[in-house]
Amino acid sequence: MREWKRDWMFWRFATYGFFKNLRLFEPFLILFFLEQGLSFLQIGILYAVREISTNVLDVPTGVFADSVGRRITMVLSMLVYILSFLIFTLFSSFWPFAIAMFLYGLGDALRSGTHKALILAYLRKKGWEQFKVEYYGGTRSWSQRGSALNVILAAAIVFWTQTYRWIFAVSVLPYLINLLNLATYPPDLDEVVRRKSTGMKPSFLIRRHYLKGLLNSSLFMGLFKGSKDYLQPILRSLALSLPILFSLNEDRRTAMVVGLIYGMLYLLTSYASENAYRLKNALRGREDTAMNLTYILGSLLVILTGGFFHLHLISLSVITFVCLYLIQNVRRPITLSYISSVVPEEKLATALSVESSARTLYAAILSPLLGFLSDFLGVGLGLSTVGLVTILLLPLVWVREPVGSTR
């Protein structure tokens, strides 16, 4: 059997993922909003602004990427992100934050699905389509290594400055590097779609197995995106409960605990992404089984995380949340492989944008709901509720191996 290798473009793709995840504010975003005096409901609304803007713009930007060019679309996304980061740096109130979150959502819409489509176009060009899980999992592992470095740098900045504001400004630098990296990708990665019709054909979207796969991936990712940052207040509670850090003020104690836990977390998720193919192989190549299993486990982990936090079992709550991150990073390469096997290559960026649109819509619904529940019932019961809602939707998203797939 022909093997794939970590060639020059593998490292270009990996470099993109590494620097893309150097968003130093992410491990502290909710804590930053709380520092500015926002309630959990306001924070949930800001998250919804980001997700709704991504949702509305996802499909149009996917069509734009397939018709105009995926490389230029990625460059535009970097520019929009940078503008968002600068607004967060310069302003301190809800409405400027809402504008920044809208721009953040636009950046996500331009980016989501587009870079994955570039990777898959490259694999088709090389004849490595059968190694989608291994190749993408390998590049994604570098994204998680970037996240590990990200949280260490962010924690160091917060520790020394005792404020969350400067981590937005520093985040501009890796995005400038990525802009240059993306702008110099080989032009022939766009040629395949320029030779095809650019009109969006809905035929592949109505295929039953694609819709099931889309929903399975989208609802889980929506749950993950809507809840993952609530690890931050959980870690702050852990930091404040540790007697060994009493000599430090609250911001420095939180920075140390967040840096340590997130750093270890992203090293683990890097390993999980790189070895996602092992789960697929253990299930005899059944990507549908892997998707269903991880959907159930992930939803249960959110329920358990909330339950443990409500019962003040903070350490157990952190452990189950870490397991949720691992599940997400094992399943993402598998879901990408599943979806790409049933979608025409020239429409892949559009298809992945549709997937992202459904994901962000679900996250947009969950985010204010979770914020409202967290204000009135507590973070723990809020998390358990959204996890329960997601697992109750399981019959709608149960997937089966597609007949006649291109694998």
**210-256 per-position pLDDT tens digit:** 778 788 888 998 899 889 889 988 988 888 877 766 667 777 888 88
Tell whether 247 is covered by a domain.
yes
Which of the two residues, 67 and 153, has the higher pLDDT score?
153
Query: What's the whole-number average pLDDT of the chain?
Result: 84
Q: Cβ distance 403 to 312 under 8 Å?
A: no
**Is 358 a residue whose pLDDT tops 90?**
no
| Predicted local distance difference test score (pLDDT) of residue 360 | 77
Tell whether 386 is covered by a domain.
yes
Which of the two residues, 392 and 63, has the higher pLDDT score?
392
Q: Which 3 state secondary structure label does DSSP give 224?
A: helix
> Which CATH number covers residue 88?
1.20.1250.20
| Predicted local distance difference test score (pLDDT) of residue 246 | 66
Tell whether 192 is covered by a domain.
no
Tell whether 193 is covered by a domain.
no
* Total structural domains within the chain: 1
Segment 360-367 mean pLDDT: 86
Tell whether 79 is covered by a domain.
yes
Tell whether 278 is covered by a domain.
yes
Range of the domain at 392: 10-187+200-397
Segment 310-314 mean pLDDT: 94
How many Å apart are CA 352 and CA 116, to the nearest integer?
8
- Give the range among 176-190, 250-264, 268-282, 295-309 with minimum mean pLDDT: 268-282
How many Å apart are CA 262 and CA 325, to the nearest integer?
10
Tell whether 318 is covered by a domain.
yes
Could you give phi then psi for residue 344, rounded to 5 degrees?
-60, 140
Q: Cβ distance 191 to 42 under 8 Å?
A: no
Q: Which two tokens stand for residue 363?
A: 């996250």
Tell whether 404 is covered by a domain.
no
Count of CB atoms within 10 A of residue 136's CB?
Answer: 25
